[in-house]
Amino acid sequence: MSTTDEIIELSERHSAHNYHPLPVVVSEARGAWVTDVEGRRYLDCLAGYSSLNFGHGNPAILNAAQEQLQRVTLTSRAFFHDRFADFCAGLADLCGKDMVLPMNTGAEAVETAVKVARKWGYEVKGVAPGRAEIIVMDGNFHGRTTTIVSFSTDPDARDGFGPATPGFTIVEYGSAEAVREAITPDTVAVLLEPIQGEAGVLVPPAGYLTRVREICTENNVLFIADEIQSGLGRTGDTFACEHEGVVPDMYVLGKALGGGVVPVSAVVADASVLRVIKPGQHGSTFGGNPLACAVGGAVLDLLKTGEYQARARELGALLHERLRALIGPAGEGGHGVVAVRGRGLWAGVDIDPSIATGREVCEALMRRGVLAKDTHGSTIRLAPPLVISEEDLNWAVDRLTEVLDELSGTAAPAEAAEQAPVPSPRTPELSGR
């Protein structure tokens, strides 16, 4: 078996450098824990950017996948298969909508939403051909296709990949007034993340989603919620929009919908919207395949119990309480945390940049057995699987506290030298587990 260094060296030589991973090589995982090729264990506080809400190797999801693997895995949409109807009906029901258009990755689902909104604009709203406009937000992250990066405001994501796809207007995130001012007779949709994940877990001001919803309704504009990262339990509700009781016209889902097993994404909307797509106008060879539908169906069953949402809510309250206690100057009552944002088991933690970069904090956390990811220089993103135990969550925050004290030079030397042992994995009682 190869060592960590050998595997990393080979990967760097033969794979494009489109990521900058932490130097850990995972070989096994269960629940909230992963094990690397050297046998070291880590608490996974990223959870595949919320793709692993139900934990690694969730038994209910694995059972559904294994059973389906033995029966039929792919038919293409040229034929029906016996998993399709239940999955689509179940997902539509979860969203309170009529119809589902299944795809695979998140970016494909966003592309689908853009196409549907434009076609709806021309055929239903009556926008002149080629003039449809979609309002998007500053700081957005919706994926990596050429059209999606056309309206990114992150230079790394956008620059060098032009020419840009026209038809998008970027406004300030969190300002409903900015949305209202940007609407023209050609506006067909507003596309936003109810909480901006990649931007650093930015929660918009209270009332923002409600006001955007009203503005969309008043102007006959579709409200598209990209809940790819915020949805399916992460924030303590099934959807982050629920926090304000807001129902979008189109949900864009992905990540956790595939149960951490296969890519499953979808656009969910009423028939009045999705019926604009006719045979031959959109599709995907793998979208809605039997394995995807079996896994997605298992995910829907887990969500229906409400336990995962409740867990994100309760443990999220604990997480945020403990993180807020770290706010303040290092050694003077605080631990060098500047701000904490988020909802449920999802937090963006801004570290005082004079102490360390986000990357340095994540590397130090890794050495202590916690995997997390930095974003935008000095922000750490925490999004553990929703199956994490309370003890493990506390353990992770203890490690973060130690790391911050060590990096700011405020830890007692003896304490800094002493590494807390990585505990045995603990898995709470939840249905499907």
Ligand X SMILES: *Cc1c(COP(=O)(O)O)cnc(C)c1O
CA distances from 15 to 10, 11, 12 (A): 8, 5, 6
Q: Which is nearer to ligand X, 226 or 350 (CB)?
A: 226
Position 158 contacts ligand X (CB under 6 A): no
Query: Which of 226, 237, 352, 392 is labelled catalytic?
Result: 226
**Residue 106 CB, nearest approach to ligand X (Å):** 2
Q: Is 226 a catalytic residue?
A: yes
Position 110 contacts ligand X (CB under 6 A): yes
Per-residue mark of binding to ligand X, 245-284 (x: CB under 6 A): ---------xx-----------------------------
3-state SS assignment for residue 379: strand
Q: Which is nearer to ligand X, 168 or 395 (CB)?
A: 168
Position 197 contacts ligand X (CB under 6 A): yes
Q: Is 36 a catalytic residue?
A: no
Which residue among 99, 212, 225, 228 contacts ligand X (CB under 6 A)? 228
Position 231 contacts ligand X (CB under 6 A): no
Position 152 contacts ligand X (CB under 6 A): no
**Residue 192 CB, nearest approach to ligand X (Å):** 10
Instruction: Give the range of 39-47, 104-112, 173-181, 338-346 binding ligand X by CB under 6 A.
Output: 104-112
Q: Which is nearer to ligand X, 127 or 157 (CB)?
A: 157
Query: Which of 97, 119, 255, 373 is labelled catalytic?
Result: 255
CB 347 within 8 A of CB 319: yes
Position 47 contacts ligand X (CB under 6 A): no
Position 112 contacts ligand X (CB under 6 A): no
**Residue 113 CB, nearest approach to ligand X (Å):** 10
Please list every residue from 13 through 32 that binds ligand X, using CB under 6 A.
none
Position 143 contacts ligand X (CB under 6 A): yes
- Rounded to whole angstroms, how far apart are CA atoms 389 and 429? 9
Q: Which is nearer to ligand X, 269 or 404 (CB)?
A: 269
Position 229 contacts ligand X (CB under 6 A): yes
Which residue among 58, 105, 112, 378 contacts ligand X (CB under 6 A)? 105
Instruction: Give the range of 106-114, 183-191, 311-319, 368-376 binding ligand X by CB under 6 A.
Output: 106-114
Reduced 3-state DSSP string for the chain? CCCHHHHHHHHHHHCCCCCCCCCCCEEEEEECEEEECCCCEEEECCHHHHCCCCCECCHHHHHHHHHHHHHCCCCCCCCCCCCHHHHHHHHHHHHCCCEEEEECCHHHHHHHHHHHHHHHHHHHHCCCCCCCEEEEECCCCCCCCHHHHHCCCCHHHHCCCCCCCCCEEEECCCCHHHHHHHCCCCEEEEEECCCECCCCCECCCCCHHHHHHHHHHHCCCEEEEECCCCCCCCCCCCCHHHHHCCCCCEEEECHHHHCCCCCCEEEEECHHHHCCCCCCCCCCCCCCCHHHHHHHHHHHHHHHCCHHHHHHHHHHHHHHHHHHCCEECECCCECCEEEEEECCCCEEEEECCCCCCHHHHHHHHHHCCEECEEECCCEEEECCCCCCCHHHHHHHHHHHHHHHHHHHCCCCHHHHHCCCCCCCCCCCCCCCC
Which residue among 142, 243, 343, 373 contacts ligand X (CB under 6 A)? 142
- Rounded to whole angstroms, how far apart are CA atoms 215 and 209? 10
Which residue among 31, 55, 90, 106 contacts ligand X (CB under 6 A)? 106
- Rounded to whole angstroms, how far apart are CA atoms 381 and 49? 9
- Rounded to whole angstroms, how far apart are CA atoms 364 and 374? 12
Query: Which of 54, 84, 87, 141 is labelled catalytic?
Result: 141
Instruction: Give the range of 16-24, 128-136, 222-230, 234-242 binding ligand X by CB under 6 A.
Output: 222-230
Position 226 contacts ligand X (CB under 6 A): yes
**Residue 157 CB, nearest approach to ligand X (Å):** 11
Per-residue mark of binding to ligand X, 304-333 (x: CB under 6 A): ------------------------------
Q: Is 141 a catalytic residue?
A: yes
Active site residues: 141, 226, 255
| Positions that interact with ligand X (CB under 6 A) | 49, 105-107, 110, 141-143, 193, 197, 226, 228-229, 254-255
